[in-house]
Amino acid sequence: MSKINRIKGFADLFPPESTAYVFMEETAREVFSRYGYQEVRIPVLEHTELFARSIGQETDVVQKEMYTFPDRKGRSLTLRPEATAGVVRSYIDSSFSGAGMMAKLFTFGPMFRYERPQKGRMRQFHQINAEIIGEDSPWSDAEVIIMLWSYLKKLGLQSLDIEINSLGCAGCRPGFHNSLKAYLKMLDQKALCSDCRKRSESNPLRVLDCKVPGCRDMMEDAPRINSNICAGCESHFETVISMLESFGLKYYLNPNLVRGLDYYQRTTFEVISHDIGAQSSVAGGGRYDGLVGSLGGPDVPGIGFACGMERLALLLQDLNDRPKDFYLAVLHEQALSKGLLLAQRLRDKGFSGDMGFQVRSVKAQLRQANKMGVKTCLLLGIDELEKREIQVKDMETGVQKTVGQDDVEQALGLNIKGKNNNFVRKG
Ligand code: HAM
């Protein structure tokens, strides 16, 4: 039979890579819950219109990157290219919105974008999303950014830069659009890519985000949004910035940071790593004040971010699963059943470990224990079975001693330090 291949741009994740994903998720749960966030789980498949309306018809994501197909009844469905639209839809459907409550929600999971795969860019990739819906205070922007930063620090990451910008609001954006349109009109239209020619009229902000080098060059002298925002947006932005300064967070103002999704207003930000190649943005986010209303919900604001787990995983390659606490080597057929019960008792007490289901030589089983990196190997032969004992071998010192079967927990306990932490750094 021929082998069935994986889809291009989709990956299987095994340890140690998958270890990094578990570490990122567990750390996010721990950190975000301290800020009052609750975990939501939402579908990966949504009506296409959700993304077209929220991310925006003119964006690369909607125009070129979505996995869209009809279901069996001909309805257009899309594998989510990002999570914010789905979280907002779920908020609107939930009791939070009915009660007009502020919601702090986070979610993890796979996203799908038909992009050209390369290091740090996949067609199925994973995000950690955090969103605050129902709060427009600049202090919430600051808290979101500080939480993201604290999370990345808790992962042990260093050498990251944070870039920040304000995109103005529904009030001041039209004025900026007009000056951008006037600038675009002065340019040689033929030198712009075909997408940008269309976007010059319909959505000029997207031209600022174009990745085609020719368009980029032509936009170098374009008007900057941060010098065109209204007094309200300016004071909002200044409060955010001054809070980041009080926190001691070094940021870079980037007036070109427009982000690739249409729903953003006011504060936008990205976290950049210089250690992972061209796909350097490890997290991005911003405020989306008109989004909930535009998706049929109450007119409430929102802000959030998403971390790209593939990119963070590139920075967490030194992470390993903590070795198991024990390996139980059974040295005689008659000891298998006792061995399984003993291993179960230890696991019930919170120890982690494995046992060999085949009776093999002591040498072979010690080799196996060594390979697993366990600190302790337990050896159970016919003699031990009869005497209700077990051999406990410290794999580091090589010291082996006989203990009663009722005392294994104590013997293991003495041999294991820091049992509550599931992850270790290599080296
Ligand atoms: P985004 O900038 O499109 O924002 O994606 C966020 C992060 O996801 C990026 O910074 C990057 O790390 C990762 N990412 C994006 N595309 C790929 C890919 N093809 N392969 C690997 N990683 C990728 C959003 O998705 C917004 N929904 C974020 C947000 C939440 N804004 C407000 N709330």
The series of mean pLDDT values per 10 residues for the chain, 427 residues long, is: 97 93 97 98 98 94 97 98 98 86 95 97 98 97 98 96 96 90 88 88 86 88 87 97 97 92 96 94 97 96 98 91 92 97 95 94 95 95 96 96 96 66 68
Judge if the beta carbon of residue 81 lies within 6 A of ligand 1. no
Tell me the pTM. 0.92
Distance (angstroms) between ligand 1 centre and the Cα of 283 equals 6
Judge if the beta carbon of residue 305 lies within 6 A of ligand 1. yes
Q: Which CATH superfamily is domain 323-425 in?
A: Anticodon-binding domain (3.40.50.800)
Model pLDDT, residue 416: 59
Model pLDDT, residue 129: 98
Distance (angstroms) between ligand 1 centre and the Cα of 302 equals 17
Distance (angstroms) between ligand 1 centre and the Cα of 231 equals 30
Instruction: Please choose, from the candidates 281, 318, 272, the residue with its C-alpha nearest in 3D space to the C-alpha of residue 120.
Output: 281
Q: Which of 311, 312, 316 to mutate to test the pocket of ligand 1 (most atoms within 8 A of CB)?
A: 311
Q: What is the DSSP letter of 183?
A: H
Model pLDDT, residue 415: 60
Model pLDDT, residue 311: 97
- Rounded to whole angstroms, the Cα distance separating 120 from 279 reads 6
State yes or no: cis peptide before 174, omega within 30 of 0: no
| Fold topology of 17-172+229-314 | BirA Bifunctional Protein; domain 2 (3.30.930)
Judge if the beta carbon of residue 131 lies within 6 A of ligand 1. yes
- Work out the burial of residue 219: count CB atoms within 10 Å of its CB; fewer than 13 is exposed, 13-18 middle, 19 or more buried: buried
State yes or no: cis peptide before 323, omega within 30 of 0: no
Q: What is the DSSP letter of 223?
A: P
Model pLDDT, residue 27: 97
- Rounded to whole angstroms, the Cα distance separating 372 from 349 reads 21
Judge if the beta carbon of residue 84 lies within 6 A of ligand 1. yes
Model pLDDT, residue 418: 47
Q: Which of 127, 167, 282 to mutate to test the pocket of ligand 1 (most atoms within 8 A of CB)?
A: 127
Model pLDDT, residue 202: 85
The residues spanned by each domain of the chain are: 17-172+229-314, 323-425
Judge if the beta carbon of residue 121 lies within 6 A of ligand 1. yes
Distance (angstroms) between ligand 1 centre and the Cα of 82 equals 7
Distance (angstroms) between ligand 1 centre and the Cα of 217 equals 25
Model pLDDT, residue 11: 98
Three-state DSSP class for residue 304: strand
